[in-house]
Every structure is written in C-alpha cells, then in structure tokens.
Amino acid sequence: MKNFICFVFVVVTMVSPIVMAEQVNLYSARKEALIKPLLDKFTQETGISVNLVTGNADNLITRLKSEGKYSPADLLLTTDVGRLYRAKQQDLTQEIATSEAISLLPNNLRDEQGHWLGLSLRARPLMVSVDRVDFKTLTNLEDLVSSEWKGRVCIRSSSNIYNQSMVAALIAQLGESDAQEWVNGLVNNFARSPQGGDRDQIKAVASGMCDVAIANTYYLAGMLSSEDTTTQEQAKKIKVIWPNQADRGVHINISGVALTKNAPNKDAAIKLIDFLLSKESQLWYSTANHEYPVLADIAWSELLQSFGRFKTEDVPLSRLGELNAEAVQMMDRAGWK
C-alpha cells in the first residue's frame, strides 16, 4: 500500500505542471503574421501559452456554433463589428469583466453588454487619383452620387462586410430614405462591376480605370511600405480624402475580440485581452499592421500620420450589426453586385 501511494504521488507530481499550466485558445480571423508576434510576447511576459487557430472569419463563427459547449475556444478575434455582432446574436459569446484597460475604451467601440470590444480602429475614407481629381470638389460621401462622378467610382462587392457596415452606418445617421438614395446614386456612378479587394480598387485608380475608390487605409499603407517597387509606385498615385469632416465624420470600424460563451480558460483569456489593449500592443497595431490604436494616448506611426488627422463617426458600432440585414437589402435593391 505504501508503495502504491508513493507511485501516485510521483505521477501527480509529474503531470500537475502540465495540467495546471495556463493557456488561451484563440480563434483568429487575422493572418498569423499579423498577430503571432504579439502572442509570443504575451507568453514571454506571462508564461501563459496561446494556442492559435486561424481561418476565414465566417467559418470560425460557424465552427464555434457547431462545437457548442465542447468548443475549446476562449476568444474569437475577428475583423469588422458585423461579425462580432453576429457571434453575439448566435449566443456564442459572454460578458467580458471590465478591467482598467477596458475601461479606457470609448463606449462606441465596445458592446453595451460587454460581449466584445475593439482592439484596433479601421478607417474607410475616399482614395483618389493625385493627377485627375480636384480635391476641393470632393469633401463628402454624398458628393459621389453627382453626375460629375459618373463612371469614375470603384468599390468592392456588396457581399463584403466592410461595405455592408458602411451602408449600415449611413442608415443609422441619414435614415433609410436618404441612405437608399445614396446607394442608388453610387451604383449609378460605378466605373465597373465590383470585383476584387480594397487593394484592387486602389490599383484601379492608379491605372486610370477609375478616379476614386472607397477603401480601408491599412491597404494603402501596406502598399506604400511594400518591398515591391511597382506596388509602391501605384500607391504613390493615390491621395486620401477624409470625407464629411464638417459634419458626421469618416466611417470607421474595428478589429475586435469576443469572449466565447464556454471559454474554458476565462481568466487567462481576459489577461490576453488586457495585453492586447496595452500601450505596447497598440503601438504594434499602428506600426506593423497600419491600423489606428483604439486608445487616444497612443502615437500613430509616421505613415499613418502622413494621411492626416480626421474626425470619425460616433455611431455605436453595435448599430452596424443591427442594421446589417437592412443594409444588404438596400444594396440588393440598388443592383450593387
């Protein structure tokens, strides 16, 4: 009996460090290169390991739902508030306990019930040809529906959630009737049928296929900092215009995180969220990912500063999720493919 007790003690001693080691299981729609360096730094500082699973944003939500209460995921990190809202509506998330770091976030960048919050800010301004556009004639999104811009506008498909959220924001601010009129007018001024991603729209402006595009700034920043000289030269033909600075501000969105409903490592997951809101992480988003920090006291990279300062919309981002279906229907009615 004595020998058996000793054996049990040895076994428990050997396995307990493995069982008790802290970890976080992260489902991320961000590419590994855009998040892994931060996760490695977190592990180095805290000793908490991070098991990273990357994949398509919508597929990860589907995976969470199919796994149900058996899901190993603690956190869902994804792009666009529309997806975070969708995960919450499908009962896949839970409230994140407020911490000092979280309390510094602006209210419009987090869920009212605390299920998700922004980690980085994305701006979606106008990008125009330096040579062919008089910047003084284009100051608002509403300007794009005038006859002057007939056949001169490039933008990606209506199936893209970035555009869906932009239209949802317009519905929230202008009302359904005026937003529908704007969408109709924009479609009427398309230079081509929507195709490709944001970089493709920027390249189309650079090549003269169109004169103005709507795109997220980090795509342009990525092109300007590319090692490919051709890509750099294309980006240099573009100027950023911040629309609606005299009224509601430019459309913004987030890359954000949600705590999963059945998170098995909840405390460690919240520690990771706090780390991603730290000054160090926020500076990383600015310099490496070319996204804007969500905290006001974090310096922007020189490249982001070169685009200029801007006023942003103050629509609660949860409204973009609530109005997503209406936005999609509106775009369909206008023939936005």
Reported confidence tier of residue 7, pLDDT bands at 50, 70, 90: very low
What CATH number does the domain containing 264 carry? Answer: 3.40.190.10
State yes or no: pLDDT of 18 exceeds 60. no
State yes or no: pLDDT of 218 exceeds 90. yes
pLDDT of amino acid 38: 93
305 lies in some domain? no
Angle at CA 323, nearest 5°, toward 114 and 82?
50
Residue type, 154: C
Q: Are residues 263 and 247 in the same domain?
A: no
pLDDT of amino acid 4: 43
Sign of CA dihedral 31, 253, 77, 303: positive
Q: Are residues 130 and 243 in the same domain?
A: yes
Which candidate, 106, 161, 115, 172, places its Cα nearest to that of 322? 172
Q: Are residues 239 and 136 in the same domain?
A: yes
| Mean of the per-residue pLDDT values of the chain | 92
Q: pLDDT by residue (tens digit) across 164-206?
A: 999 999 999 999 999 999 999 999 999 999 999 999 999 999 9
Q: pLDDT by residue (tens digit) across 253-293?
A: 999 999 999 999 999 999 999 999 999 999 998 998 899 99
109 lies in some domain? yes
Q: pLDDT by residue (tens digit) across 82-94?
A: 999 999 999 999 9
Q: Are residues 95 and 154 in the same domain?
A: no
Q: Are residues 275 and 182 in the same domain?
A: no
Reported confidence tier of residue 20, pLDDT bands at 50, 70, 90: low
Reported confidence tier of residue 34, pLDDT bands at 50, 70, 90: confident
Q: Are residues 7 and 114 in the same domain?
A: yes
- The domain tally of the chain equals 2
Rounded Cα–Cα distance for residues 284 and 95 (Å): 26
pLDDT of amino acid 296: 84
The residues that bridge with 240 in the sheet, in sequence order, are 127
Reported confidence tier of residue 6, pLDDT bands at 50, 70, 90: very low
Residue range of the domain that includes 145: 123-251+317-334
Q: Are residues 200 and 269 in the same domain?
A: no
310 lies in some domain? no
Q: Are residues 210 and 194 in the same domain?
A: yes
Q: Retrieve residue 33's tokens.
A: 């290169």
308 lies in some domain? no
Q: Are residues 22 and 148 in the same domain?
A: no
Reported confidence tier of residue 10, pLDDT bands at 50, 70, 90: very low
Q: Are residues 112 and 158 in the same domain?
A: no
312 lies in some domain? no
Secondary structure (3-state) at 253: strand
Q: pLDDT by residue (tens digit) across 80-132?
A: 999 999 999 999 999 998 888 899 898 889 999 999 999 999 999 999 999 99
Q: Retrieve residue 119's tokens.
A: 């980690």
Which candidate, 172, 167, 156, 258, places its Cα nearest to that of 216? 156
Q: Are residues 105 and 185 in the same domain?
A: no
- SS3 track for 77-133: EEECHHHHHHHHHCCCEECCCCCHHHHCCCHHHECCCCCEEEEEEEECCEEEECCCC
Secondary structure (3-state) at 27: strand
Q: Are residues 198 and 329 in the same domain?
A: yes
311 lies in some domain? no
